Structure 1
Amino acid sequence: MSKTVEFYFDLGSPATYLAYTQLPKICAETGSRLVYIPMLLGGVFKATGNASPATIPAKGRYMFEDLDRYARRYGVALKFNPHFPINTLTLMRAVTGMQLRHPERFQAFVDCLFNALWVEGRCLDEPATVAAVLTEHGFNPEDVLALTNDEAVKAALKDNTETAVKRGVFGAPSMFIGNQLFFGQDRLDFVAEALR
């Protein structure tokens, strides 16, 4: 069994945020490598005919209650974002661009965006808010915006999303160990078990 976890993620998913808080620890404990693969969840939904559980009111209410239970279990902050769902196209291009062009700052970049969305509940659909968040964390908003318009970055995000769908991804978070897919932050115990 491979000792690498490929983590397909989109910032706009609260379940993905929870997985993101736990995977580094699981990988450290099992001597495994964590590979972050940004994808566009909206593109995955469109390609697979899937939709967010939040589109079904009763399921959406339950999902957020359940995610809150997991956040307490994990000992991490989670706040329902009143602006959910978020259009993450520009954000995920920025994440992909940071990974490609500035890998040394990738982790801090993703940290600040996940925190803004799922701890502070900020509206990252608004460019001014995004700029404020980036500035607060030492990133130049104009440089980040330039990344989102880079054709190679756009192509990389599109390729990641298409590859995810070809591999059987239908939502986020999705994690692969070898060719085995684990979907959902509530399957992290199986991820840890497979790595051990």
Structure 2
Amino acid sequence: MSSPIRFYMDFASPYAYFASRAIEAVGAEFGRPVEWRPILMWAVLKAHGIAAPMDVPVKRSYLLADMERSAAFHGLDYRHPVKLPMSAHLAARLHHAVAAEDPATAGLLAHALFEAFFRDHRDVADMETLVAIGASVGLSRETVVEGATGTAGRALLEAAVAEAIGAGVVGSPYFIVDGEGLFGADRLPQVRWLLSGGRA
């Protein structure tokens, strides 16, 4: 099997939302599985000593406008989230816990989480909202609560954050293709280029 594309992303990152279906399409095009790695971008940036982009007023102003424009560019419905920045640790833990047992359902869950937060204006940091999203992909309340708050999901997320720090991840989305890192939804053309033998 061809080596996978590793997809580091934060469920609170609009740019990861913009890239999420596109990177799966690129993976399918080149016969590469996509390994989702939910992380907490704030924790990764803190470890690297990098300021969060939304903490800088001029950058925040730019990004808020760019999010609207980028969603339109990617052809996606978008409503500015109920809160941003936000720690999506419950959603990330849940995804990791589900992925460990049922990768197919985890894939459905990932898209449902993104769409709830960035399209439907729902708060994915709220447990009842997570329970409802989980139910939409066939997860019981018990599975969602345990995944979001239990030790397994917590440990898997902590491991993913540590892995991202070690891999030099500097933003969300961040792709690793055959050992090469690419940051940003706007790097999708370069991902395709690399997979097409662009370095050859």
Pair in the same fold by TM > 0.5? yes
* Aligned pairs for 1:147-186 within 5 A: 147-186=147-186
**Within the alignment, does 1:8 sit opposite 2:1 as a pair?**
no
SS of equivalent residue, structure 2 residue 124: coil
Kept after mapping to 2: 8 A contact 1:50/1:171 = no
Kept after mapping to 2: 8 A contact 1:83/1:122 = no
SS of equivalent residue, structure 2 residue 108: helix
Kept after mapping to 2: 8 A contact 1:3/1:195 = no
Percent of counterpart pairs with the same letter? 27
How many positions carry a matched residue from both structures? Answer: 195
Q: How far has the Cα of 1:47 moved from its partner?
A: 0.8
1-structure distance, mates of 2:152, 2:125: 23
SS of equivalent residue, structure 1 residue 36: strand
Q: Report the counterpart of residue 109 of structure 2 in structure 1.
A: 109
Kept after mapping to 1: 8 A contact 2:6/2:34 = yes
Q: Which moved more, 1:95-104 or 1:30-39?
A: 30-39
2-structure distance, mates of 1:42, 1:57: 17
Per-residue CA distance 1:48-98 (angstroms, 9 max, x = gap) = 122332222221221132232222222111221131122211111101001
Q: Report the counterpart of residue 64 of structure 2 in structure 1.
A: 64
Identify which of structures 1 and 2 has the higher relative contact order when contacts are C-alpha pairs closer than 8 Å and 6+ apart. 1
SS of equivalent residue, structure 1 residue 81: coil
Q: Which moved more, 1:174-183 or 1:131-140?
A: 131-140
Q: Which moved more, 1:50-59 or 1:75-84?
A: 50-59
Q: Report the counterpart of residue 192 of structure 2 in structure 1.
A: 192
Q: Which moved more, 1:137-146 or 1:154-163?
A: 137-146
Q: Report the counterpart of residue 33 of structure 2 in structure 1.
A: 33
SS of equivalent residue, structure 1 residue 35: strand
SS of equivalent residue, structure 2 residue 168: coil
One-letter identity of the residue aligned with 1:171? G
Q: Report the counterpart of residue 92 of structure 1 in structure 2.
A: 92
One-letter identity of the residue aligned with 1:188? L
Q: How far has the Cα of 1:3 moved from its partner?
A: 5.1
SS of equivalent residue, structure 2 residue 82: coil
Kept after mapping to 1: 8 A contact 2:19/2:173 = yes
Does the C-alpha gap of structure 1 residues 58 and 32 become closer, same or farther in structure 2, counting only changes over 3 Å? same
Kept after mapping to 2: 8 A contact 1:8/1:173 = yes
Kept after mapping to 2: 8 A contact 1:86/1:124 = no
Does the C-alpha gap of structure 1 residues 125 and 149 become closer, same or farther in structure 2, counting only changes over 3 Å? closer
Unaligned runs of 5+ in 2: none
Unaligned runs of 5+ in 1: none
Calculate the TM-score normalised by the size of structure 2.
0.88
Q: Report the counterpart of residue 131 of structure 1 in structure 2.
A: 131
Q: Report the counterpart of residue 43 of structure 1 in structure 2.
A: 43
CA RMSD in angstroms comes to 1.8
Q: Which moved more, 1:115-124 or 1:58-67?
A: 58-67
